[in-house]
């Protein structure tokens, strides 16, 4: 009896000894910063003012009613939706191409994955060079094609700069959706296409009624995933436009950085971070719900 109790105790001590060292860095670098940021969001934590008093929800109220909040939320939503539409169209087309057997298929597969290996900062620097008003590749190509008469400062035009930012983001994010959709395409039962062929369905009807229907769970996952990434996008904004011109490309994550490190208002920055966190948690909920829906639908099929 004593040996059994001693064995259980030793087992529990062994489990604790192996788990606790791993939990310590998780607590220090994950839970503690989140808890501290929550504490800061309820205090008047501005480095320009020697005051750390408790202000409750004042920071949240000031952020929500600030001059930039609703405009930056609108820009972020436009950025996310526009990015998703372009990504889903390009990823579907690329996946359909990669799903076919042709010469050079392996090379194309490698090229599709290249943007995934390049950090946002490096990719953003490359795109900023492409958009450069003095020697950029975009201007050079358009000038050779006769589309423009002289080099244009594209990043100074409000509407165009947002589209150019979306282009850089789409280029960086295209590989993962392509792989997800390609996986979905390769899981479509060949019997469905054979039955449609017997019924006399055209290529467009097979694509619309079989391929698209089968890929709907994947499309939903891509939508939630890309939206989640879009609202947290900062690197490309900072490198390419720095929120300009006139804050027309300033996503909500960029204003979080500005409040914290430009205005040194850590209270506002933390409050804005938690607003983004709440939005992200909601999207994560739908992300996992989409995964379950997709799993059930594929299981039924």
Residue with tokens 């359909």: 96
pLDDT of residue 86: 93
Q: Give the CA-trace dihedral at 248, 254, 258, 260, to 10 degrees.
A: 160
d(CA 209, CA 215): 10
d(CA 28, CA 22): 11
In the chain, where are the structural domains located? 1-41, 59-300
pLDDT of residue 87: 92
pLDDT of residue 7: 60
d(CA 296, CA 301): 9
d(CA 137, CA 258): 30
pLDDT of residue 15: 67
Residue stretches of the chain with pLDDT short of 70: 1-17, 22-23, 26, 28, 290-301
d(CA 251, CA 237): 8
d(CA 124, CA 251): 15
* CATH superfamily membership of 59-300: MetI-like (1.10.3720.10)
Q: What are phi and psi of 150, to 5 degrees?
A: -155, 160
pLDDT of residue 16: 66
d(CA 89, CA 203): 18
Q: How many CB atoms lie within 10 A of CB 156?
A: 13
pLDDT of residue 228: 83
- Sign for the pseudo-dihedral over CA of 276, 279, 280, 281: positive
Those residues whose C-beta lies under 8 Å from the C-beta of residue 141, and which sit 6 or more positions away, are none
Q: How many CB atoms lie within 10 A of CB 93?
A: 12
Alpha-carbon distances, residue 220 vs 166, 169, 283 (angstroms): 20, 19, 11
Beta-bridged to residue 46, according to DSSP, are 265
pLDDT of residue 167: 92
Those residues whose C-beta lies under 8 Å from the C-beta of residue 123, and which sit 6 or more positions away, are 115, 168, 171, 172, 236
Tokens matching residue 165: 């930012």
């Amino acid at each position: 009896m004593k040996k059994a109790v001693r064995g259980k105790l030793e087992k529990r001590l062994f489990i604790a000894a192996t788990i606790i060292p791993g939990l310590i860095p998780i607590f220090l670098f994950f839970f503690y910063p989140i808890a501290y940021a929550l504490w800061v969001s309820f205090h008047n934590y501005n480095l320009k003012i020697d005051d750390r008093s408790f202000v409750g929800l004042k920071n949240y109220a000031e952020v929500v009613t600030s001059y930039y909040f609703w405009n930056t939320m609108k820009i972020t939503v436009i950025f996310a939706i526009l990015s998703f539409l372009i990504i889903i169209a390009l990823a579907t087309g690329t996946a359909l191409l990669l799903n076919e057997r042709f010469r050079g298929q392996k090379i194309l597969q490698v090229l599709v994955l290249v943007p995934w290996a390049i950090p946002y900062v490096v990719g953003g620097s490359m795109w900023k060079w492409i958009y450069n008003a003095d020697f950029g590749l975009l201007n050079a190509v358009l000038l050779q094609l006769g589309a423009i008469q002289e080099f244009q400062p594209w990043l100074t035009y409000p509407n165009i700069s947002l589209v150019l930012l979306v282009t850089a983001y789409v280029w960086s994010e295209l590989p993962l959706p392509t792989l997800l959709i390609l996986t979905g395409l390769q899981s479509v039962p060949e019997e469905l296409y054979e039955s449609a062929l017997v019924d006399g369905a055209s290529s467009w009807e097979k694509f619309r009624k079989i391929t698209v229907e089968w890929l709907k769970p994947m499309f939903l996952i891509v939508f939630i995933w890309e939206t989640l990434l879009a609202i947290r996008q900062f690197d490309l904004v900072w490198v390419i436009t720095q929120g300009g011109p006139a804050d027309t490309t300033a996503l909500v994550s960029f204003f979080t950085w500005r409040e914290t490190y430009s205005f040194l208002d850590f209270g506002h920055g933390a409050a804005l971070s938690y607003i983004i966190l709440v939005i992200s948690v909601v999207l994560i909920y739908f992300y996992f719900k989409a995964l379950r829906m997709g799993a059930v639908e594929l299981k039924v099929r």
